[in-house]
Structures are given as structure tokens and as C-alpha cells.
Amino acid sequence: MAPLNDTDKARIIKAATEAKEFAYSVYSNFRVGAALLSSSGEIIKGANIENASYGGTICAERTAFVKAVSEGIREFTALAVTTDMPSAISPCGMCRQVIREFCSLDMPVLLVPGNYLDPSVEESKKAAVQIMTVDELLPNSFGPEHLPK
């Protein structure tokens, strides 16, 4: 797994938690926040944006990638994802494939419990941040290198 220092880990966890506040989840009431750390140290936030047609909904992770890639940022060193659930929740399959498109297989993905930064919750009652690699999230994956150039 690519190294992630404690400062950057704290920065992206905080950013993902902040991003969740802007989720537009009026149908599911399931807020998600994501934060990407670029190789230059920039943080790109994303929140889930639901749509009445359901198919038009975009997840927080993909929102962050769309924002980054559309601004020319294509190299990332970490991703953090959080919800309001007290346990860590992993990205959906479509998001995993988008993550795979732009990130190395050894890049860390932090799955952050929703109450991780909540000071009103006792530390002993908080679940730990789960750190997985892209390869662990999407084993035996298909990626850009599998297509002819």
C-alpha cells in the first residue's frame, strides 16, 4: 500500500466529513461524503447528488473524480469516504470501477465511520477507520491498461 502520513490522513477524513454536509439525498436520506488527495496535495471533495429519476444520481466518490478530472487533476494518492452510519461503508461497484480508472492498485481508500470525528461519541464506541487498497476493493479488476492503445 502506498504510504499515507497522519497529517494527510486527518486532512482527507475531515474533508470527506465536510463534503457529506452538502449531500443532496432527499430521496434516500443517505448522505455520503468523499475526499480525494491529489499527488500535488490538493483535496477535492464530493457529495452524493440524488435525482428524482434515480438513474441520474451520482455518488460522492464519482462527484469528486468528475470535479478533479474535469479540472485536469488525474493523479491521486488517497481517497476517504464517509456516511452517517456508525460503521464504515465501502464504495458501490460503479464507483469502484471509476476509482480503478484513475488510481494505482496500491492506493489507500479510507472507509470512515460516520461518527469518527464526533466528539460526543466515546472513543470506545467508535469503529475504526478501515484502510483498503484499490486492489482489495476491486480484485482482478479491468483497467485502462487492458485496452489497446
User: Catalytic positions, please?
Assistant: 61
Instruction: Measure Cα distances from 130 to 48, 72, 144 in Å.
Output: 21, 29, 27
The Cα–Cα gap between 29 and 104 comes to: 32
CA 100 to chain centre: 12
Alpha helices (H) in the chain, listed in sequence order: 6-20, 60-70, 93-102, 134-137
